[in-house]
Amino acid sequence: MLPTKDGDSSQAPATFALQEDLHPENDFRLFALIVAIDNYKNDAIFNLSGCVNDGNDFRAFLTDTLHVLPHRILSLSNENATRDAIIGAFVGHFIQNPAIRNGDAMVFFYAGHGARVEAPADWLADGDKIETIVAHDEGPSDAEGEVIYGIPDRTFDGLMRQLAHEKGDNITAIFDSCHSGGMARAALDMVARAVPPHVSPSPVPSTLDQDIWRWGLSTRSAATVVPTGFLYKAMQSHVLMAACRPDEQALEAARVPEPRGAFTVQLLKLLRSHNLAELTYARLIELVQLRHQHPQCEGINKNRIIFDATKLVDRAHSFRVTTSATSLLVEAGSIHGIVEGTEFTAEPSSGVPLDFAQNAVFLATRVDALQSALTCESSVPFPETLRDFRVVVSKWNSSTMKTRFHYSAGSHCSVVGPNDYSDVTVHLGTANGWQLERRDPLVARHASRVLTIPRGDVSESFSKILDAVARFNFNLYRHNLKAPLRNDLAVELHQLEVIPGTSLRPTLRPMGDDYFDSAPEPVLCAEGSSFDVGPVQEAIITDMEPYYGLTLVNKSNHDLFPYVFYFDPNEYSVQSWYLPPSPNMAPPLPKEGRLPIGYGSSGTDSLRFSLPSGAKVDSGFLKVFVSSAWVDMRSVQQASIFDKGPRSSQNRKDTSFTDLWDESISVLTCKASYG
């Protein structure tokens, strides 16, 4: 029998189904498993005092605020939250629950101790350590003399993958625990929810829970990534909100009348006070502000609406504005291409009065690396209650692309005469299309100078295409004239190989020579060109079979946030290859450090190159931006000009006017191999 609410026997499936049939279809369909542990059986593990209170409050939020039906919530606490009970409840209440439909919201909440223990020799893990949930009965041995181990991160990953397969990926995990045991207390009267080193049984057996974590894995796939730790960036099965960074402590106030975890208190306060229909997981975690810990949000679906399988309206091309009594600050700066005189308009939302949004114009008056000061010009008074909203660029006020065309050329272009230099010239080609003659420096050297575009409505569609080309070139060629880090950044490209002994869950590592080992070469810029570029390195790939990985190298004394983009001149698309997943995370590229992309712990996909059908050579451009503080760089991305969808040229922590940024450009060229 599986345990249910606080250890009672589980309901028979027929009883559960009967309860479901008694409720209307329009109720909020959410199922939750709440595990909260204050008291531990092992005397070597110190007891906590706020976890059960956190679990009870989370349950109250679900029933009182969201009106979740009580029988859809299963709670386990203290002696009822044993290892077997937690895993059994996950399987019975979630995976095998016939009442859960595909797409229903499922929430796993855990408040209690976490631990970091030695990994078995044949489990590859960061630092040879794994993270565990500490169950009530974890300890040297049970009644039969068997050791009770914690629940490893890979076991949790296996359960989540199977749940997503059975019921859909509308899954949320909330952890108010940490895994950095042994650190000193970070604040007066606060206790860390982490077991000190050498207390939890370690290492765990290599076969522990193998029937769970092996579920759905291919023994041949070289692309499978091993999750090391619960905060696993590439996870597709669920979104995880965690109380702190992996190297920090999740704290609870223990010496107060009602002990509580700092993270859960703030999280529930925000959930109760915000409109959840307009709140994403990522935004929620940004709003949780704690003095001694930095909450984290991971998972590819973190930009979905809370407890919902849909995404909020795309805000990749809008920027957050914060207001005070004396200033307006927009979280966009010179790293985004903002200059003095750039104009913005308010993005329509429920918090912005319609007449104000339609009439207000914002002008950048002071531009720094990552943010800018704005002034507002409006015939409608500024709303007194407006404190946090978003704006979109309506006029960049930057240099335009010189275009020779007989029709309107778009807002980012300037039409030149037949005797003047042009960056782009549009020719009437065959009956099936137009020809775009391109003279910008990198394309002129590394790509086909003429691109054929299917003919459409000249006055509108081609104007948008030229605007997309102009935005592509603008983002590709713009650079920081001060170049504060230009000589301190390097990019490496290596083939990847499978580390021996990891055949079940293969892990990749770089091998062989660096493809960017040649010296940068100067690029000729034509007189009159709107664009210029310094010397660039070129990597030439002739073997398309292997997987490849990038490594960013930081030789500076600054911790940095990198943003990696691939610019494809054959379709004028810009893909992000790496974006830092959280504004609260530690800088992923530490001073005098390295960041792997496509392998290791970055949670990014490995690279594999190919040539277009019939092509013998193909080039694209790799651009890396770096900044000293986190900033939203999603606005650089853009879809192919051949896509039929619409084209267009977050809520982040405040940054000071002392931050810096820089960038670098490299060329990636694929060539057919002869011989």
Q: Which residue has the higher pLDDT, 377 or 23?
A: 377
pLDDT band of residue 372 (cuts 50, 70, 90) is very high
pLDDT at 357: 80
- Residue 3 clears pLDDT 60, i.e. is over it: no
**Stretch 264-274: mean pLDDT:** 91
**Stretch 541-559: mean pLDDT:** 94
pLDDT at 433: 75
Q: Which residue has the higher pLDDT, 272 or 231?
A: 272
User: Which one-letter amino acid corresponds to residue 613?
Assistant: S
pLDDT at 277: 76
pLDDT at 175: 94
pLDDT at 98: 94
Q: In whole angstroms, what is the distance from residue 227 CA to residue 119 CA?
A: 12
3-state secondary structure 618-642: EEEEEEEEEECCCCCCHHHCECCCC
- Residue 540 clears pLDDT 90, i.e. is over it: yes
Q: In whole angstroms, what is the distance from residue 221 CA to residue 215 CA?
A: 14
pLDDT at 226: 43
pLDDT at 585: 76
Asked whether the beta carbons of 562 and 624 are under 8 A apart, the reply is yes
Percentage of the residues of the chain whose pLDDT score is greater than 90 = 41
Q: Which of 219-233, 302-316, 334-348, 401-415 has the lowest mean pLDDT?
A: 219-233
What CATH code would you report for 318-395?
2.40.10
Which residues lie below 8 Å from residue 283, measured CB to CB, with a gap of 6+? Answer: 650, 651
Percent helix / strand / coil, the chain, rounded to 5? 20, 30, 50
For the chain, which residues make up each domain, given as ranges?
Answer: 5-298, 318-395, 401-477, 486-671
CA 589, distance to chain mean position in Å, is 16
pLDDT at 233: 45
pLDDT band of residue 300 (cuts 50, 70, 90) is confident
Percentage of the residues of the chain whose pLDDT score is greater than 70 = 83
- Residue 183 clears pLDDT 60, i.e. is over it: no
pLDDT at 652: 29
User: Which one-letter amino acid corresponds to residue 479?
Assistant: H
Instruction: State how far the alpha carbon of 59 is from the alpha carbons of 54, 75, 88, 266, in Å.
Output: 9, 8, 20, 15
Give kind and range of the element (H or E) at residue 130.
Answer: strand 129-133
- Residue 648 clears pLDDT 70, i.e. is over it: no
Three-class SS of residue 27? coil
**Which residue's entry shows tokens 């712990």?**
601
Answer yes or no: pTM beyond 0.75.
Answer: no
Alpha helices in 200-275 (DSSP H): 210-213, 262-273
pLDDT at 506: 60
Q: Which residue has the higher pLDDT, 459 or 525?
A: 525
Angle in degrees, CA 332, 337, 342, rounded to 5? 75
**Topology adopted by domain 5-298:** Rossmann fold (3.40.50)
**Stretch 633-649: mean pLDDT:** 71
Residue-by-residue DSSP string for 144-176 = TS--B--EEHHHHHHHHHHHHHHH-S-EEEEEE
Structure tokens at 629: 């503080």
- Residue 490 clears pLDDT 80, i.e. is over it: yes
Q: Which of 52-56, 188-192, 258-262, 542-546 has the lowest mean pLDDT?
A: 188-192
Identify which of 107-116, 278-287, 302-311, 636-645 has the greatest average pLDDT: 107-116
Instruction: State how far the alpha carbon of 410 is from the alpha carbons of 23, 256, 345, 471, 567, in Å.
Output: 55, 63, 19, 11, 21
